[in-house]
Amino acid sequence: MADDPIYNLKLSPEHARIVVAALDLYSRIGMGQFEEIPAIFRLDRRIDRDQLDTVRQLVDAIKETLFQLPPNASFSICSEKDVLPDYRTAYDIECVLRQQVATIEKHHKMSVWHGDPLHTNKDIPLVKCEVIFPAAEQTEDELADERKQLEAIEQTEGKS
């Protein structure tokens, strides 16, 4: 791993929210939460009740066929036996990124977005996420907050 390349993305706040949503959906599908699929179609399309019911029935049939799970049942993201490593890694990346988004966007502190990443795939280290503010717009308080956040992340990594 020491010789592996490191990929560095620069995401706008909107990009970060979209990546979090995509990783969330991907990891949920890996847990068998296929019922999340119809929800994405309600975001930008008009779908009538009958169409939605048909989609739900199809999704339930796929879930039963692939995972032998009844409707509204799913596996735990932490289940190494039932959830493949890629899905768990996607969830870990989602948690790291959403924690930073929640901090910057000042989400309610009780939000799951503020929770520490579970690190469900222990075979690889957690990703690192650093928030960078344009220097000209950063106040001393923001710089101090950023330093505290980075220190907290480093301390958390030291515990893993």
Report pLDDT for 147: 77
Residues 68 and 82 sit within 8 Å (Cβ to Cβ): no
Could you tell me the residue ranges of all domains in the chain? 13-31+75-159
Report pLDDT for 136: 54
**In angstroms, rounded to a whole number, what is the distance separating the alpha carbons of residues 130 and 6?**
14
User: pLDDT by residue (tens digit) across 69-103?
Assistant: 999 899 999 999 999 999 999 999 999 999 998 88
User: pLDDT by residue (tens digit) across 27-62?
Assistant: 999 999 998 888 776 656 677 888 888 988 999 999
Residues 72 and 59 sit within 8 Å (Cβ to Cβ): no
